[in-house]
Structure 1
């Protein structure tokens, strides 16, 4: 029902009434896995009408009245996910209507809506009830106007056993003891917020408080015995909230901030206003035993969710096509906060190899989508929670902050938040605020970046002291059609020479620039702020490699060069050997981010050629070992209590990972002996930062006994991030029978939680046996798998992508297309299209470069 709606193409509710307050009581039953609910919704009546429609899914309504008068009929539309209450008489325009409903729902196990999460305690399986409403699952918990623009206030009450903890967005108002050992906990009335940010939790929980002072209480909750692992995150939260208070010049608006670790959780975390929920692994951490990457990840996730309390919660996009406003900004702001609070981590160096490359990777596919993507139906929304909304969105903001200046950018954001607090906005509102703060025409420049799909490649040609730069659409399949290449982006060239950095803009197809430098050095896109690839002439790659050796390039420059070369080579814009010639000069490189990018890009070549002549893969392994031998010869893998800096530990991890994964015998022997010592009880057998590498190494080279040891450790470990490391390693086994056992675990579901199903799958995609068996298993179990996830689930999309995207031949592409040809793919059609694009790119790559790559490896002495 779409009458009286501002955009009739969207499947949204009528605007004949608008809710302004919900009074809700929920009572979950943790034995029957159901819940009872009662609510009164107060509406402003916008026009004369005799019905009220709400979003509702898997809810049974047992009673309903409006202003005390029973409704004449209740009609459900399962496809539209609505319930309509018909009235005998009309509501009068300008009046207030109160709809009172009693209803029942399912405490499901799909990690959506009001659901149950299980855990083991004292040998018994226990449950808690929790919520996940973003984007459109509030309707599973109570009938509502489940749209971000329909902000309202909420008075929430929870009924539960008197010994259980009840939490919601606001602080507790009062608790009343009821009969049957139950209690009713009423929470204070919330400020205006969207339904997707409402949260309720009932369970046996314990908490720790932040020891870092902040003006409102900050608590981290977990199931009994795990709460102490929340200390690190509680203190990070206090620092972040104080940081955001100052930067936004707006105080955190709620009376408390709770963060809760949930055992079953589909995403990484969810920014519910005042009650933020997380996967255990993204909140709970023993800082003394965690590896450096886990510590960084937890810090960034906490900062991300807290940034949302202002950007997303206080000010909210008016509909889901503006998702990037929430996620892109929270991503940028989390990096900004972590860099300010922990400057020794130098996270902006990592940003170039992390968020920027995720954005460029996905956006190089023909099946990508604009940052501001039109969405009309509920099942389309989950598919845009991806690297475009998060990583490209944040990269656009990073580019914009560089153009405007960081202080001006933050001032503009603060003004935007102040102007629109408690309201809803569109992207243009942010551009207007930034234009006003900077005096620059932000709309003209940035609209293209958010409303157009893809990004450009800037081709550089050289002649007589001048360079000509030309922009065209970049696709990883290098088959751009004329109609796909009509957009001209405003590109910030940031030309770096020995004279410094010159700020130039390319807003036409081509431009010629006089270098006027004292030497032959130049690089486009200084410090890699721009969202594009740069394709140089063949001879320039070697010169840039030498410039890196000579210290003329920043870390971001070096990472960006390697990333550009790798991506351009995979697409055929340059030769793959250009990448290898570039990085072979950097054997003395000291920065771990640069090394990680080098290893990852060579790893991408190995993945593309995984079904090709084995000599290529083996030759590339030899090449990597040759690259790192000068560094690894002076590094010990033995665990030491000496205090390494963050960067030193990261560098050691990078080299150990590269050595193990490329067949270094000493590194593999160390991994195996350290694993056996660890299993035998030596907690200091290896650095916590080596955990994932060692587990993968022993699995890759392991037998059934190794598998049994890892499985036993999985069942007993008390280290939160160790569980994830084991799960990822299970897919690394090469033995077909063991792989069958792993796939059996995924299907059975008691040992590998549904939320973690993708972790062993990712390991299976790293080797030929695993890729083939995984795809065969997926085909057999596709229907059952799809039923296990809610419609449009991002987890099921990930399973589709993982099971298909590792293939590299036309025959397999055709087989995949045939399998899905007659299936209803809505909810994951974009993931499937992206997989097929990736396969097409690898088909072209292997057909184009196999002979040349073999010749280069042979000529360089890496013949197998």
Structure 2
């Protein structure tokens, strides 16, 4: 299917793609690599077995930052060329090998290339990760990250998802080092040098280059026999390998669950999961050899809290879902990334819910996954779920809340429409039909249509092909008990142009009444009228399983508030209603004072997830008003304290083993939400715990509230507290504790401490993978926002050197350093800085940051006085009380 095909219509989705010529097709790679930890390089040989699809006198192959020493082409017993003409195209990242003698169509050929590569420090390709041994010496681990387009950085290859081939990997390394790859070991041979051995792995099934992985280094492991195949967790020697036990046991249960759920055996002979000290994302689903950031696989219940445990569980289950969805069946090109990531995200929630029903993850889905999707997708600079990708440097930018979160929302929406059992049957058929192959989105819709008998593609294609989502405005007609609904695209900047509002989304209205939920009502037109059994109580988008926001009249919102208090709305309904009301105020549909009143009316709410959304939305208002009049900022802060304090005191901040998972998270959230705005009792409690912690009592602060205690003492303290937290970052052996310390340093507002935080980032003490952490903490106050922006502009060349734009970290830095502003002047300053700079690799992220600033600017211009008046009135009432 390489380089051909159109998308069920006349649009050629391959048009403009920078892809390799289709004259040869790879079938098998024999790859040998020998890393040198002294020189930080590696020598390699790759022999690729090719089918010749068209008569050829040249072969183009992807390479990046590799030194090619020799190439040889043979066909049968005949050498076609041993010294061909070799040229490199930097733009396309290809090496073209030209030769005089023609390879005939239908023949087979072997391409042999000897090369040298760098064990780089960019967390891409075949790279080095470093760590401190217990004796203080430096340890080196050679590992890989190929997705999306960095296999070409590791070895010459045909680096496109559709060009699946089998791989036989051999690693040559010191005998004392562990060698791992996707497959199990076939043989180990001692070399004549005496200190080295060659570890050859069994041949893999057909797979895409981005899923290949190999690791060489000192590693310890633990193993389980609770699955029919061996599963291991590996970590470098400085980590406590026993902290991998939770992930190991979960992996055994999850693989067994997925085999049953998908009716498909996991096809590889083993599963290894490895903690990598330097890692650019959270985890990577390499087939049979999953790599993780340390904090996303190692979990110590004594030193990490409930939210960390949940994140580890979701990450492990996400990556294991990929072993089928992504690895066994793979999208044919990167515009289908959502097929991989959307499904794996949905599947991690689905399996987490089955394993840990007490976590109530579908309730959290509304405040987490759905809101991430709706937040990004309300910007003009968002993109469709299926986004045309042309060049290698565009791919990284779509690993975002659209591909992951909106993608999974689309999956959830269709699963609810079809019913979960029918949906899963469609998934089983899809996996069976396309195993070891490549697919497009329409292949999934076809499988679901066959399983359900419903026309899935017609409805769902609009959701994946078009950017954005609608706001559904509801008006009521008392006389005939009907509601009139109208859809328009929602833009956060509140400046929608008619030509941007032409898509009519198929909206599943999900009407909740006292009779239950009607999932089948579909609005396909601009507007429609629907009967409601009783106008006294109704709500659209029951449980918020669908991708839209609902705009009600103020009177209806008030009635829904009463319905919430009367127990007529689910947790998802209540949190989703808060999210919709707040987002619509930010987009100009309602007044911000109305939202603040709505939040105030939730004082009897008892559920963690709803409170999480209430406090998140209040935080968004505070963030937008960050640079406004101090009196308004103080008023909003005291409102937050008033909202959270009574509950925080009632629930307390002692954590018992008998506390449920959600209870622990709720207590932790309330403690921080009341303490940071200055609840005196909690501030004192935080200081007391911190004092004991400073004197060496490492159990003085419970891990659930570690971040809050650190943040509170920094906000209300000074250099003494700062030094203790910085020292914790430098000396702690616990990754979670170190990360927490690093994240909160930026909360200190003293100008000297701000300077120290900024200086720390590029001092060599902070790993490149963690650069975003200290600067994210600085975004919580005006002086910090300014400092972070100045840091970015002053160190721009160094940041580009450390985090090349074609990889996936510079765009996060750009977003963090720019998007917290909220004025036209700051927007102009940002645009001026990037004027004339090459923004390839982060242009979309920059556009989204600028859009976010425009949205906040417009919101302030509309509601500045509204909020000012509300705060004055609230403060006056508070004083009277």
Q: Please state how far the C-alpha of 1:584 moved relative to its aligned partner.
A: 1.4
Contact 1:467 1:513 in 2 (8 A): yes
Partner SS, residue 860 of structure 1: helix
1:146 and 2:146 matched: no
Contact 2:485 2:528 in 1 (8 A): yes
CA distance in 2, matches of 1:696, 1:37: 49
Contact 1:210 1:231 in 2 (8 A): no
- Partner residue in 2 for 1:606: 622
Which deviates more from structure 2 when the two are superposed, residues 668-677 or residues 393-402?
668-677
- Partner residue in 1 for 2:101: 89
Counterpart selection for 1:235 from 229, 233, 249: 249
Partner SS, residue 155 of structure 2: coil
- Partner residue in 1 for 2:176: 163
- Partner residue in 2 for 1:656: 671
CA distance in 1, matches of 2:5, 2:424: 35
CA distance in 1, matches of 2:600, 2:738: 37
1:483 and 2:499 matched: yes
1:692-740 Cα shifts (integer Å, max 9, x gaps)? 1111222222322222211211121122211111110111111111111
CA distance in 2, matches of 1:641, 1:843: 45
Q: Please state how far the C-alpha of 1:5 moved relative to its aligned partner.
A: 10
Q: Please state how far the C-alpha of 1:466 moved relative to its aligned partner.
A: 2.5
Partner SS, residue 106 of structure 2: coil
Structure 1 unaligned blocks of 5 or more: none
Contact 2:273 2:290 in 1 (8 A): yes
CA distance in 2, matches of 1:555, 1:91: 65
Which deviates more from structure 2 when the two are superposed, residues 219-228 or residues 182-191?
219-228
1:721 and 2:723 matched: no
Q: Please state how far the C-alpha of 1:648 moved relative to its aligned partner.
A: 1.2
1:702 and 2:717 matched: yes
1:51 and 2:58 matched: yes
Contact 2:124 2:146 in 1 (8 A): yes
CA distance in 1, matches of 2:117, 2:716: 49
Contact 1:588 1:630 in 2 (8 A): no
Which deviates more from structure 2 when the two are superposed, residues 700-709 or residues 686-695?
700-709
Q: Please state how far the C-alpha of 1:225 moved relative to its aligned partner.
A: 4.1
Which deviates more from structure 2 when the two are superposed, residues 616-625 or residues 173-182?
616-625
RMSD: 1.4
Partner SS, residue 534 of structure 1: strand
Which deviates more from structure 2 when the two are superposed, residues 652-661 or residues 443-452?
652-661
Q: Please state how far the C-alpha of 1:642 moved relative to its aligned partner.
A: 4.3
CA distance in 2, matches of 1:774, 1:713: 23
Counterpart selection for 1:525 from 530, 541, 554: 541
Q: Which aligned segments of 4 or more residues in structure 1 are displaced greater than 3 angstroms?
A: 2-8, 639-642, 861-864
CA distance in 2, matches of 1:186, 1:90: 34
1:628 and 2:640 matched: no
- Partner residue in 2 for 1:196: 210
Q: Please state how far the C-alpha of 1:682 moved relative to its aligned partner.
A: 1.9
1:546 and 2:558 matched: no
1:361-403 Cα shifts (integer Å, max 9, x gaps)? 0000000000000000001000000000000000000011000
Counterpart selection for 2:138 from 112, 121, 125: 125
- Partner residue in 2 for 1:515: 532
Partner SS, residue 84 of structure 1: strand
Q: Please state how far the C-alpha of 1:307 moved relative to its aligned partner.
A: 0.2
1:64 and 2:71 matched: yes
Counterpart selection for 2:411 from 371, 382, 397: 397
Which deviates more from structure 2 when the two are superposed, residues 358-367 or residues 173-182?
173-182
1:826 and 2:846 matched: no
1:746 and 2:761 matched: yes
CA distance in 1, matches of 2:154, 2:645: 58
1:200–1:642 distance in 2 versus 1, CA, 3 Å: closer
Q: How many residues align structurally? A: 859
Contact 1:349 1:593 in 2 (8 A): yes
Partner SS, residue 626 of structure 2: coil
Contact 1:166 1:203 in 2 (8 A): yes
Q: Please state how far the C-alpha of 1:272 moved relative to its aligned partner.
A: 0.3
1:294–1:3 distance in 2 versus 1, CA, 3 Å: closer
1:305-362 Cα shifts (integer Å, max 9, x gaps)? 0000000000000000000000000000010000001111110000000000000000
CA distance in 1, matches of 2:699, 2:792: 39
Q: Please state how far the C-alpha of 1:632 moved relative to its aligned partner.
A: 2.4
Contact 1:542 1:581 in 2 (8 A): no
1:431 and 2:445 matched: yes
Contact 2:181 2:201 in 1 (8 A): yes
Mapping for residues 739-778 of structure 1, pairs under 5 Å? 739-748=754-763, 750-778=764-792
CA distance in 1, matches of 2:657, 2:408: 37
Mapping for residues 274-285 of structure 1, pairs under 5 Å? 274-285=288-299
CA distance in 2, matches of 1:62, 1:180: 27
Q: Please state how far the C-alpha of 1:8 moved relative to its aligned partner.
A: 4.9
CA distance in 1, matches of 2:162, 2:574: 44
CA distance in 1, matches of 2:670, 2:168: 54
1:256-296 Cα shifts (integer Å, max 9, x gaps)? 00000000000100000000000001011112332000000
1:108 and 2:120 matched: yes
CA distance in 2, matches of 1:257, 1:514: 54
Which deviates more from structure 2 when the two are superposed, residues 462-471 or residues 98-107?
462-471
1:640–1:777 distance in 2 versus 1, CA, 3 Å: closer
Contact 1:545 1:583 in 2 (8 A): no
Contact 1:371 1:393 in 2 (8 A): yes
- Partner residue in 2 for 1:592: 608
- Partner residue in 2 for 1:135: 148
CA distance in 2, matches of 1:555, 1:355: 15
Q: Please state how far the C-alpha of 1:770 moved relative to its aligned partner.
A: 0.3
Q: Please state how far the C-alpha of 1:654 moved relative to its aligned partner.
A: 1.6
1:630–1:703 distance in 2 versus 1, CA, 3 Å: closer
CA distance in 1, matches of 2:60, 2:3: 11
- Partner residue in 2 for 1:668: 683
CA distance in 1, matches of 2:766, 2:715: 20
Partner SS, residue 163 of structure 2: coil
Contact 2:473 2:552 in 1 (8 A): yes
Contact 2:571 2:610 in 1 (8 A): yes
Which deviates more from structure 2 when the two are superposed, residues 412-421 or residues 697-706?
697-706
CA distance in 1, matches of 2:4, 2:477: 62
1:516–1:380 distance in 2 versus 1, CA, 3 Å: same
Counterpart selection for 1:359 from 344, 352, 373: 373
Mapping for residues 325-474 of structure 1, pairs under 5 Å? 325-464=339-478, 465-474=481-490
1:500 and 2:516 matched: yes
Q: Please state how far the C-alpha of 1:129 moved relative to its aligned partner.
A: 0.3
Using structure 1 for the length normalisation, give the TM-score.
0.98
CA distance in 2, matches of 1:386, 1:450: 15
CA distance in 1, matches of 2:3, 2:238: 53
1:646 and 2:661 matched: yes
CA distance in 2, matches of 1:768, 1:3: 50
- Partner residue in 1 for 2:10: none
CA distance in 2, matches of 1:729, 1:599: 19
CA distance in 1, matches of 2:303, 2:816: 31
1:751-796 Cα shifts (integer Å, max 9, x gaps)? 2110011111111111001001111111111121011113322210
Counterpart selection for 2:572 from 556, 564, 572: 556
Partner SS, residue 216 of structure 1: coil
1:430-476 Cα shifts (integer Å, max 9, x gaps)? 00000000000000000000000000000011231332110000000
Counterpart selection for 2:235 from 219, 222, 225: 222
Contact 2:471 2:548 in 1 (8 A): yes
CA distance in 2, matches of 1:629, 1:72: 75
CA distance in 2, matches of 1:790, 1:819: 18
CA distance in 2, matches of 1:679, 1:15: 64
- Partner residue in 1 for 2:27: 20
Contact 1:52 1:86 in 2 (8 A): yes
CA distance in 2, matches of 1:587, 1:630: 10
CA distance in 2, matches of 1:578, 1:544: 14
CA distance in 1, matches of 2:512, 2:477: 18
